[in-house]
Chains A and B, each alone.
Chain A
Amino acid sequence: MHIPDGYLSPSTCAALYAGAALGWYGGLQRIKRTLATRMIPLISVFAAFSFVLMMFNLPLPGGTTGHALGVTIASIVLGPAGSILAISIAIAIQALFFGDGGITTLGANCFNMAIVGSLVAYATYRIVAAGAEITSRRRLLAAGLAGYVATNAAAFLAAVEFGIQPMLFRDASGVPQYAPYALGVAIPAMMIGHLAIAGVAEGIIAAGLVAYLQAADPALLQSTSGLAPGATAACQPSMRHPQRRWWIAIALLAWGEWSASSFSSAEGRARIAAASQNRPAPPVAPTGLQRLSSLWTSPVPAYAPPVLKSTSFGYFLSGMFGVGLVIMLSLALQAYLQHRRGAGQPG
């Protein structure tokens, strides 16, 4: 899901950098107000964990393998603010050291995966798990669902960012300057791979890790549980007795990469749907496309209304999106604050 350089226009990159900067600033402020000193190694090691987790090949139902992102377990253990920072750090290291993911698109990637991903994962987890015991099965469901939803939310954002490029950035003769696929293609193309594979992988890993922690170290699940905190020991060199302060932790990272296998087949499937956007459907599909069309299982409608091609709709969509995002973020923030009030502790 990392967006490389060249797919997004400079203005898109700048806007998303600004959005990401807000998220980073918020996360850092939160950390500073809690036990900042302990957070530094905790976040760092958790980020490294996420990084390595991303490399695990997870066998999925149906015979495919996928990669988990780790953002969900980060949000569950560390809380959204720490998760924001952690994932951003992981993404930054991927871009600046391993060369995966763009530098101009660092803001976009962090916005989609680290910020929105963490908030959505956290909100979903808290809502579904509300009130459940730390060791209950409902928390597993909550974690799995949170992973699935967060992955697809991030993918959806990326898809929209791609999809509005040709609408907004074309030259005089109609050549798209950046990502060339409109929303009608970009959204199904991105979403299929994530609805079917990446989201499932993330959900499985999130639930699996929560199950592991329920048995091995339930205290790590305490701080985001919304339940009254347990007793704390006198001296805690270890994390096992979380203090009343919030642990903000490191981000998980690793989103599924633009692996050709998952994407190209999804892309192939999307070709069929998108084809009808531009011209009437041919009576007989060419053999190449026919082969690819057999992979098509998505319920996305095979046509896109002409309004999608207009620039003004593009602006409208971005605006709507922004509003929707703000609503989502404030809902998540509310849930977070409510939890803190419930725990009865200042930062």
Chain B
Amino acid sequence: MLPIFEVQNVCFDYEQIPALRGLSLTIGRGQSVALLGANGSGKSTLLRLLDALCFPSRGSISFCSEPLTTEQLRSDEFALPFRRRVALVCQNPDVQLFNPTVFDEVAFGPLQMGWLSAEVVARVEETMHLMGIAHLRDRAPYRLSGGEKKRVALASVIVLDPDVLLLDEPTAMLDPRSQSQLIDLIQSWKSSSKTVITATHQLEIVEDIADRVFVLEQGSVVAAGSPQEILSDGDLLLHANLVHAHRHTHGTMTHSHPHLHSHARHEH
């Protein structure tokens, strides 16, 4: 397996508050990975580091054996291809939609890459049709629903045809149908051997979107394995605050054990 990301002993602080402590992991090219962790476990921070938006205070990250450092990202030669190949979709679409219209939003990336106008227009139209947002092309972001915003945000990164997709809580705030559409999309990326790294705390989608799972707790990796291995380890999940245990009722019986809430009720 050819590594695409190698993270070694990385530390990162937000104003003296440590977000990542000595985190290490390796992600292979074409793998689909889930980063599981509760809020505050460091998932979003890690994704930002992988996208070279911030740099660790200690430790190192490399992408295809190239170290990701401030100096490296200063050169257009490295930075532009990197930005095209690695795409990040934020949790909050409002942050990502900063252009006046949907068309402009999707066109932003290609234009920054320096593509020719004709090509930009063609690719943007194609992507908008793919994501089902072509009818929104002249709409302003404040007039979009949550699901539409998410689709525009996705369109704005896939228009560049990246090799790596970093997704931060992609199913947050989505209704069930949009969620399943998104999962379909992720699976199509998997089959076209893109590397997909998803940060989530929703256990029920993990099996669909990942071949490998890393569990994060308080800024470091506490477990790694296949989805089946991780999801069956109840104690681990409880400890990492990914499931809860409270009294609940099945029919006429009331008891308490670790479980997660999902659309389907769990069986005994």
Contacts and interface: CB of A to CB of B under 8 A. Distances in A.
A and B directly contacting (CB within 8 A): yes
Interface of A: 41, 233-238, 240-241
B57 interface: yes
A241 B57 contact: no
B103 interface: no
B206 to A, nearest CB: 27
Contacts of A241: 15
A237 B57 CA distance: 13
A233 B48 contact: no
A234 B14 CA distance: 9
A221 to B, nearest CB: 15
B57 A238 contact: no
Contacts of A236: 54
Nearest to B53: A237
Given A236-B54, A237-B48, 6 more contacts: A233-B15, A233-B16, A234-B57, A235-B12, A235-B54, A237-B53
18 contacts: A41-B98, A233-B13, A233-B14, A233-B15, A234-B13, A234-B55, A234-B57, A235-B12, A235-B54, A235-B55, A236-B54, A237-B48, A237-B53, A237-B54, A238-B14, A238-B15, A240-B15, A241-B15
B83 to A, nearest CB: 14
A235 B15 contact: no
Contacts of A238: 14-15
B98 A235 contact: no
Interface in B44-70: 48, 53-57
Contacts of A233: 13-16, 57
A240 B13 CA distance: 12
Interface of B: 12-16, 48, 53-57, 98
Q: Which of A233, A235, A238 has the most CB of B within 10 A?
A: A235
Contacts, number: 23
* Most B C-beta atoms less than 10 A away, residue of A233, A236, A238, A240: A233
Contacts of B13: 233-234
Contacts of A234: 13, 55-57
Contacts of A237: 48, 53-54
Nearest to B55: A235
Nearest to B54: A235
Nearest to A237: B54
Nearest to B70: A235
A41 B98 CA distance: 9
Contacts of B98: 41
B40 to A, nearest CB: 16
A234 B11 CA distance: 11
A-B pairs, top 3 by smallest CB distance, nearest first, are A234-B57, A235-B54, A235-B55
B108 to A, nearest CB: 13
Contacts of B56: 234-235
Nearest to A217: B15
B202 to A, nearest CB: 25
A241 B14 CA distance: 10
Nearest to B13: A233
A38 to B, nearest CB: 12
Contacts of B53: 237
Contacts of B16: 233
Q: Which of the listed residues A234, A236, A241 has the most CB atoms from chain B within 10 Å of its own CB? A: A234
